[in-house]
Amino acid sequence: MSNAAWWERALAALPGGVNSPVRAFRSVPGDPLFFRSARGARFTDEDGREYLDYCQSWGPLILGHADPDVQAAIFEAVPEGASFGAPSRREVLLAEAFLSRLPWCDRVRFVSSGTEAVMSAVRLARGFTGRDLIVKFEGCYHGHVDSLLVDAGSGLATFGTPSSGGVPADVTRHTAVLPLADEERLRAFFAAHGDAVAALIIEPVPANAGLLLQTPAFLRTCRELTQRHGALLIFDEVISGFRVAAGGAAELYGIEPDLGTYGKIIGGGMPVGAYAGRRDIMEKVSPLGPVYQAGTLSGNPVAMAAGLATLAKIGRPGFYAELERKGARLEAGLREAAAAAGAVASVVRQGSLFWAVFQAEAPVSFAAVDGARMPTYGRLHRALIERGVYLAPSGWEVGFVSAAHSDADIDTTVAAAREALAVAVVG
């Protein structure tokens, strides 16, 4: 059955045809593709067409699709049982592997998604501090947690809604939103309200409304102000964890938060999230402490196996240097292609994360992203699909280079981008 036929059936069975909104291609031309199989840097749709993929399941697949070692680990775990609902060895092994890469963390709790990790970390921060107020940044996405669905980035920006229906104002009353990259506003806020803040949460590498890279100085200010006011600093590393360095953004910038939230890569393509931090904080979680958090499938053995195989492989010497090299190759190629097409564009990159934006200057705050330029991204997206390259279906989303992308794949992508950009900028 073709992509088109599956899409028709999907529309009749799933709201908007999808199980997660940006997949519906609402902000790029054309209909979604249906994928039936994948390997490495590529996946194949139901029409039998193959694409070089830079979405990589939105970040988990740092090793590429269907990595043979991750698959072998899953195949080994499945026959032993898909879920025990009782302690099992792989939870301990993954926790040990996790903690060995994050020396500032003493304890980790596994959950089943990034959303759950953030929701739990926020509850824990409130339980630990005895305060209610959470501070977040405009354009940072922290999953679809009620209290954090305020000015929350890509999926929401795509639909032009600042927040979400179904979230009581009473719930977001305890959430304050500040602009990224504005140290003055941040200092003024803490001077006025710092002693009421339970936690400041930030994506240290904001990657859900484009790639809004912050200066290390700004992140250090987040650390200093929270410390001074007895508030916790939560790094939401669901994308950046194990991506920008083995120890995530905390390692990259040399800043230790109080709590970190993880997901995506830690599950190797299976549903896993995690939150972690200092022992005195983490011991407030049930059963040791009063902050309740539980999960029927938490620490699922098959998911733990996929995470373990992924961490083992990305722990090999030179892994991140090689990803950086590939990212730099793609960045240079895309810049050159944009210049050749006469496009007004910036390519922003941090390691294997990249973002192409049709603005002369790379924005570093949500307000600086020009939504009026997104149709150009839509045309680029379509033109690249026609040339066998798949980007995330929204200009607010970042791209992911995996270890499975070869230099030849990147050069093929750049050649396709040269043609596609020429089409996109003409309009």
Ligand X SMILES: *Cc1c(COP(=O)(O)O)cnc(C)c1O
**Site residues (CB under 6 A) for ligand X?**
113-115, 118, 141-143, 203, 208, 236, 238-239, 263, 273
Edge-to-edge strand order for the sheet containing 35-39?
35-39, 42-45, 50-53, 389-390
Q: Which is nearer to ligand X, 14 or 188 (CB)?
A: 14
Q: Which is nearer to ligand X, 118 or 197 (CB)?
A: 118
Residue numbers annotated as active site? 141, 236, 264
Place of tokens 């390692």: 251
Q: How far is the CB of 361 from ligand X (least distance, A)?
A: 24
Picking from 255, 416, 397, the residue whose alpha carbon sits closest to that of residue 334 is 416
Q: How far is the CB of 414 from ligand X (least distance, A)?
A: 26
Q: Which is nearer to ligand X, 53 or 116 (CB)?
A: 116
Q: Tally the C-alpha atoms within 13 A of residue 371's C-alpha that lie toward its C-beta.
A: 13
DSSP 249: H
Is 364 strand, coil or helix?
coil
- State both tokens at 245: 């360095």
Q: Which is nearer to ligand X, 201 or 311 (CB)?
A: 201
Q: How far is the CB of 304 from ligand X (least distance, A)?
A: 16
Q: How far is the CB of 120 from ligand X (least distance, A)?
A: 12
Whole-angstrom distance, CA of residue 369 vs CA of residue 357:
9
Q: Which is nearer to ligand X, 210 or 333 (CB)?
A: 210
- Residue 323's contacts (CB-CB under 8 Å, 6 or more residues apart) are 62, 351, 352, 401, 403
Whole-angstrom distance, CA of residue 42 vs CA of residue 51:
5
Q: How far is the CB of 192 from ligand X (least distance, A)?
A: 27
**Secondary structure of 5-17 in the HEC alphabet?**
HHHHHHHCCCHHH
Residue nearest to ligand X (CB): 114
Q: Which amino acid is at 116?
A: E
- Alpha helices, H only, 206-318: 216-228, 248-253, 279-282, 301-314
